[in-house]
Structure 1
Amino acid sequence: MAQNPVKQRIQWFAVHGVIRGISKVFARRGDPQGRLLIDPDIRANPVAFQDELRARGPIVKCRAIYMTVDHKVANDLLRSDEFHVFGLGTNLPKPLQWLATRTRPDLLHPIQPPSMLSVEPPDHTRYRKLVSSVFTPRAVAALRDRVQDAANTLLDDLEDEEGTVDVVDRYCSQLPVTIIGDILGVPDEARPHILEFGELGAPSLDIGLTWPQYQKVYRGIEGFNDWLSNHLHELRRNPGDDLMSQIIRGSETAEGGPLTHKELLATAGLVLAAGFETTVNLLGNGIRMLLDNPGHLQTLAAQPELWPTAVEEILRLDSPVQLSARIAAEDTEVEGTRIRRGEGIIVYLAGANRDPKVFADPHTFDLQRENAGKHLSFSGGRHFCLGAALARAEGEVGLRTFFERFPDARLAGVGSRRETRVLRGWASLPITLGTARAMSSPA
């Protein structure tokens, strides 16, 4: 059922509108958090801003929150029992929390319970154990073969294309939607819904949305909730061999009792959103970075064993997930700064990934970097991304196969970035493919 328009407006005002208005004032006064939320230049190119924060120390105090781009601090926070994840709006001032709670729509959201992104043990342990039992190394290895087959098929379809192609629309989004559709048992004819809902719902991780952005996000989440709920009911009636059917079966005998439909819906939704949205960005970011570094493409053609390192460097330098956040569960101290219970810290993953204390010459795309995999793009600790191995496989196979097939691909325009801050990727990326090369055998 659609939310009452008045309640919807109040919900936006409480969770986003006030924050956006205050952030504009704070940004004019130089507040880092306000600038992060408001400044389009930081969204377009955040590296200079990250370096500015780094120069201010390991913990940066903002008007309403703390921030860090320090790799050690970020790594420790992600693993600390003294800091927890939290749901959207739960750290607002009390009056706004009251408004947000009473106008919240009865829809699942990626950063509201029971999503794994916003709960801690024991609930988090229960949900994670269920998904981990399905995403085994053997299952991921089998999916890698499926990634290769899907990449070959998609690139076959591009061979006869002339002129300019939007590689995000025709390849970067189609490859992960094929794989995640297989995982979730989604029939081919329903897979365009994943693309549609992903595009509408991607900004849902951001705070301070405009009213038009919030309306688009709401439509996307509402449509996705309805579709996924019906899909899970259908899989219960007619289970298949897909991983989601296995999760449904496992949820009925889960430790701690069967998952409710809402818990299962949240778990399935997160698997879909995390497995699709971030990989689209990884592939798009990777293609753009490699086209900007043609010397690296020549090296990779001669030394294909360097592809895993190339993917780690792409993840490090242009992380698909830029930001995370934690809230202090008790009074504590971080690097000499006293953090009180209930105060939050923005963990700037993308900034930590360029910490010169960990990564020598951190802004350089280095195919020989020995510690490239120390990035925090998949978070860390108990909330480390369950799909990291699959994302790496999709990145490596998807990028390698693309450039093996189209070694003469070139940029045909500047493209456009997605209007999101937490997620970073390309909305469109026009390229000229050039002459296709005969398909090579998988490495």
Structure 2
Amino acid sequence: MAIVQNSHSPRRNGPIKQRVRWAAMHGVVRLFSWLGVRRGDPQARLIADPVVRTDPVAFTEELRALGPIVRCRAAYLTVDHTIVNDLLRSEDFRVFAMGSTLPKPLRWVADRTKTDMLHPLEPPSMLSVEPPDHTRYRKLVSSVFTTRAVAALKDRVQESADALLDEIADASGTVDIVERYCSRLPVTVIGDILGVPDEARPRILEFGELGAPSLDIGVPWKVYRQVNRGVEGFNDWLVDHLAELRRNPGEDLMSQIIQASDEGARLNEQELMATAGLVLAAGFETTVNLLGNGIRMLLDSPQHLETLADRPELWPNAVEEILRLDSPVQLSARMAGKDTDIAGTGVRRGDVVILYLAGANRDPNVFEDPHRFDIERENAGKHLSFSGGRHYCLGAALARAEGEVGLRTFFERFPDARLAGGGSRRETRVLRGWSSLPVTLGKAPASIGSAVKSDQLG
């Protein structure tokens, strides 16, 4: 067998080692970031300044005024669309593991407190490895996310959206649309793809919400413990899920990955776990943000809803503009593989460049009047919200389909929906979305399913 069977739960740290690992990976970074905020260091502000989290757009414009690439204490920062686009595709810049750029003493501590728990920014996650391993992992799952494959899934997305909206159609008062719809639609779709039973999906959502800050650095101890609970719970569930699929394989993608690994892809157990976990988590986590961001932006711009009602063919472009203007993933980063020059600035081998995707998406050199929400913008699709190059998001086509179907169906069913409060943003830096968004739905027309039943009865 190519897959190494392992029935044991992943090794984890006790309370003392957890605290030590947090101090090495986040605590020291957090302390120096607070000091850096006082000095105005942009990278420190990005990590620790609450003003930046509240209003990231103003911060990106401050960076833009400083030039195409900004030198910070420990890294470079750029919001320039051309630079971000080039570095995402460059063979001279590579992804890297979280913690790998820490000073040697902290890396020593981090290495000795490392567990077997999966992490999206640690090998063997696709987000932190390069070819040939990255190519091997990606090849296993790429076929299900092609444009053609996603087109075949679109009916399932529509069915899921209709069913979820049927459930809330009779709701009186306010509804948290993130909890009742935005979070449940993508987890239903990706759950079907990966063979996740219905009863497990609420737990997956819970683990995802707890683990979302795992992409951030410099997180507080309380948040780190929360992330740990989410990651541990997800790891334990995934071990059991893969074991069940080995015993009773189905037609789902995960069963196919297990079979394909045995037939030639040669994934060991940790690689299989990492690939399965990343596809599942990424398959719903960012789409939740896309749907929530889109509903909020469109409720704030009723003139666009009127246009979309008259010209529904604009929905795909509207989704691109939502992705551009309020990117679900705000940041990425790359490490220089050799000494090079970026826009006249010398960057040495091993230096890190933080790629501010959300800032690049508002570059006035690419997007005219970049802060304006324009669902008819001709080049909206030039955004970099799905990254680029060999690490371009595998699920981009699926996310677009879920965004288009999910948003269109919601506003067709509830054309009188209105905001019922300010809502609350997620407490994350890399991911941007709403943790809650209260709306009043207004009067909804009968669902398609109900109309069919009525016709049959008549």
TM-score, normalised to structure 2, is 0.94
Q: How do 1:319-358 residues align onto structure 2 when only pairs under 5 Å count?
A: 319-358=327-366
- Tell me what 2:166 maps to: 156
Asked if structure 2 preserves the Cα contact closer than 8 Å seen for 1:404 and 1:440, the reply is no
- 1:214 alignment counterpart: 224
Q: 2:147 and 2:396 mapped to 1: Cα distance? A: 11
In structure 2, the partner of 1:375 is: 383
Instruction: Quote the sequence identity (%).
Output: 73
Give 1:440 shift: 6.1
Q: Give the letter for the 1:179 counterpart.
A: V
- Does the 8 Å CA contact 1:328/1:343 hold for their aligned counterparts? yes
Native 8 Å contact 2:166 2:447 kept in 1: no
Decide whether the 8 Å contact of 2:144 with 2:150 is kept in 1. Answer: no
**Could you tell me how far 1:438 is from its partner in structure 2?**
3.5
- Work out whether 1:98 is the aligned partner of 2:108: yes
Question: What is the aligned-residue RMSD (CA, Å)?
Answer: 1.1
Distance 2:29 2:113 in 1: 17
Deviation at 1:177, TM superposition (A): 0.9
Counterpart of 1:312 in structure 2 is: 320
Query: Take 1:180 and 1:308, find their aligned partners in 2: how far apart are those partners?
Result: 20
User: Counterpart in 2 of 1:110?
Assistant: 120
- 1:241 paired residue among 244, 247, 251: 251
> Structure 1 residues 245, 429: CA separation in 2 closer, same or farther (over 3 Å shift)?
same
Q: Distance in 2 between matches of 1:438 and 1:337?
A: 60
| Counterparts of 2:302 and 2:143, CA distance in 1 | 41
Structure 1: runs of 5 or more not aligned: none
Written as runs of structure 1 = structure 2, the 5 A alignment for 1:39-438 is: 39-255=49-265, 258-438=266-446
Structure 1 stretches (4+) deviating beyond 3 angstroms? 438-441
Amino acid aligned to 2:167: D
Partners in 1 of 2:211 and 2:154 — Cα distance?
27
Determine if contact 1:66/1:344 at 8 Å carries over to the other structure: yes
Q: Please, which runs of 5 or more residues in structure 2 have no aligned partner?
A: 1-10, 450-458
Counterpart of 1:346, as a letter, is I
Following superposition, the deviation at residue 136 of structure 1 comes to 3.4
After TM superposition, the structure 1 stretch with the greater mean CA deviation from structure 2, 67-76 or 338-347, is 338-347
Contact 2:146 2:397 in 1 (8 A): no
**What residue identity is the alignment partner of 1:155?**
L
Q: Report the alpha carbon displacement of residue 2 of structure 1 after superposing the two structures with TM.
A: 4.1
Equivalent-residue separation in structure 1 for 2:264 and 2:317 (angstroms): 37
CA pair 2-126 structure 1, distance change in 2 beyond 3 A: closer
* 1:437 Cα deviation from its structure 2 partner: 2.0
Q: What do the CA deviations read for 1:61-100 (whole angstroms, capped 9, x no partner)? A: 0011100000000000100111100011001111111110
Task: Give per-residue Cα distances to partners, 1:313-337, cap 9 Å, x unaligned.
Answer: 0000000000000111111111111
Tell me the secondary structure at the aligned position of residue 419 of structure 1.
coil
